[in-house]
Amino acid sequence: MYTTQMDAAKHGIITNEMRSVAEYEDIPVEKLSSLIAEGKVVIPANKNHKCLKPYGIGNSLKTKINVNLGTSKDCLNLDIEMKKVMAAVNMGAESIMDLSSFGDTKKFRRKLTAECPAIIGTVPIYDAVVYYNKALKKITSKEWIDIVRMHAEDGVDFMTIHCGINRSTAKAFKQSKRHTNIVSRGGSIIFAWMELTGNENPFYEHFDEILDICREYDVTLSLGDACRPGSIADSGDVSQISELVELGRLTMRAWEKDVQVIIEGPGHMPLNEIKSNMELQQTICKGAPFYVLGPLVTDIAPGYDHITAAIGGAVAATYGASFLCYVTPAEHLRLPTLDDVKDGIIASKIAAHAADIAKGIPHAKDWDYDMSQSRRELDWDKQFDLAIDSEKARRYRAESKPEKEDTCTMCGKMCAVRNINKILRGEDVDIMD
């Protein structure tokens, strides 16, 4: 028997989850197993999440995306939120993070792990604040850790734990005078708790206890980046790098107990800094999968941050990130609507696919080959079927009908594709008649 996927891999045991992932990724299961043993791939798979379709996360595999959802004060209906979750899964999200911040969060979390096949992640810090419903400084160290145990029992596959911001990194943060301070929600809560109580970060102080819980249920630790840059001005600063070094140390401790680990990353970051940042993370955290929140390559585009994040995400995944957290057009502005969620997912899926092509994932280009072939053949139905957003592609053409069916309204009878096909078939070309 084994405890975690990493424990199994270290002992040469091939699990059902490994077989399923190897088949999906089209790689030998023995190769996958050795990557898991080294910590370079994780399969988040809590033993209590019985309906899970397992996915592997690691930079030698297809890039995966996460979608953040969950109940809030303005959206408390569990069935509506569950519909959003299943819509996200149908659009290709491999992972859902339940960031519920109001109401009966346990009920929704259990509904997710009972009904949703995607990888389920949570941030226990958010939930602790809702669950205990008392002044922040009154929450005890034990109570923070109890929430981690509760989420593990509920079947959560991975948890963001903000354990990198300990007294030492908090001191570096206070001394460095950042442009945008701390923008991580969980990071801001635990930093405030540390300042209010004078205590060490409980997730850092009791890290071994957290590892024991993760080992028991096979929860993958997502080491949170409380000090991720919230503006390009803070990118790569002392706070970000001090925390990353701490996360590297904690990764080694987790691996000693066979606990699977992913590392969370930036944040806001200029395009030219992304490659070196991904390489630095790979070095410091010994190749542990990198989970990036963006990176947003500029700060000036509220309303379009799915685009700023997709640009950064494509570059980050090309150079080492394995897991992209989606960003919607509502980022920095409001709770996303269903349309915002859809736009965010499509943008992240494009970034992930673009990176998979760039890093040479086997067969990643096949989809593009088929699409370009259907374009050459002016086979509109096939183009719609292959489109990453079939509904939008179909709607756009329907809303702008051309005079000739074998053209579109962009160039009409000057359609290069149509005219070259005609010439190559030995036919005349009718542009002006």
Read off the amino acid at residue 287: G
Query: Toward ligand SF4, which CB reaches closer, 87 or 411?
Result: 411
CB 365, min distance to ligand SF4, A:
21
State the CB neighbour count (10 A cutoff) for residue 205.
16
Query: Is 226 marked as binding a ligand?
Result: yes
At its nearest, how many Å lie between ligand SF4 and the CB of residue 320? 36
Q: Is 244 left (phi over 0), alpha (psi -120 to 50) or beta?
A: alpha
Q: How many residues bind ligand SF4 (CB under 6 A)?
A: 8
Judged by CB under 6 A, which of 52, 152, 254, 408 binds ligand SF4? 408
Rounded to whole angstroms, how far apart are CA atoms 128 and 62?
A: 33
Report the residue number, 135 or 432, with the smaller CB distance to ligand SF4.
Answer: 432
Contact present, 155 and 49 (Cβ < 8 Å): yes
Which residues contact residue 6 at a Cβ distance below 8 angstroms, ignoring those fewer than 6 apart? 36, 37, 39, 42, 255, 258, 259, 260
26 is in an annotated binding site: no
What does the block give as tokens for 108?
A: 């929704």
Find out whether 116 is annotated in a ligand binding site. no
* Interface with ligand SF4 (CB under 6 A), residue from 135, 300, 416, 424: 416
Nearer to ligand SF4 among residue 371 and residue 417 (C-beta): 417
Which residue bears the tokens 């542990």? 288
**Which residue, 29 or 417, is less far from ligand SF4 as judged by CB?**
417
Q: Is 417 a residue that touches ligand SF4 (CB under 6 A)?
A: yes
CA distance 82 to 76: 11
Rounded to 10 degrees, the C-alpha dihedral 135/137/142/148 comes to 70
CB of 424 to ligand SF4, least distance (A): 15
Of the ranges 42-50, 196-204, 216-224, 411-419, which one interacts with ligand SF4 (CB under 6 A)?
411-419
- Rule CB under 6 A: say whether 410 interacts with ligand SF4: yes
* Residue 400 CB, nearest approach to ligand SF4 (Å): 10
353 is in an annotated binding site: no
Name the one range near ligand SF4 by CB under 6 A: 88-96, 272-280, 287-295, 416-424.
Answer: 416-424
Cis peptide before 267 (omega within 30 of 0): yes
**Minimum distance from residue 412 beta carbon to ligand SF4 (Å):** 6
419 annotated to bind ligand: no
Answer yes or no: is 411 a known binding residue.
Answer: yes
Q: Is 268 annotated as a binding residue?
A: yes
Binding to ligand SF4 (CB under 6 A): which residues in 259-298?
none
Enumerate the β-bridge partners of residue 221. 159, 261
Sign of the Cα torsion 55, 263, 152, 331 reads: negative
**Is 239 annotated as contributing to ligand binding?**
no
Smallest distance, Å, CB 388 to ligand SF4? Answer: 18
> Is the sign of the CA dihedral 187, 255, 96, 245 positive or negative?
positive
Among 411, 421, 422, 429, binds ligand SF4 (CB under 6 A): 411
264 is in an annotated binding site: yes
> Of 276 and 400, which CB lies nearer to ligand SF4 in the complex structure?
400
Distance (Å, whole) CA 146 – CA 132: 11
β-sheet bridge partners, residue 81? none
Report H helices in 13-123.
16-25, 29-38, 78-90, 105-115
Q: How far apart are the first and last CA of the chain?
A: 76
Nearer to ligand SF4 (CB atom), residue 333 or residue 414: 414
Nearest to 215 by CA among 253, 175, 270: 253
- The closest of 128, 130, 82, 122 to 102, measured between CA atoms, is 130
The verdict on whether residue 25 carries a ligand-binding annotation is no
Query: Cα-flanking dihedrals φ and ψ of residue 142, to 5°?
Result: -65, -40
386 binds ligand SF4 (CB under 6 A): no
Instruction: Identify which of residues 416 and 432 has a Cβ nearer to ligand SF4 in the complex.
Output: 416
Site string for ligand SF4, 234-253 (x = CB under 6 A): --------------------
Tell me the window of 48-56, 89-97, 192-200, 412-420 that interacts with ligand SF4 (CB under 6 A).
412-420
Q: Which residues line the annotated binding site for [4Fe-4S] cluster?
A: 408, 411, 415
User: Footprint of ligand SF4 on this chain (CB under 6 A)?
Assistant: 407-408, 410-411, 415-418
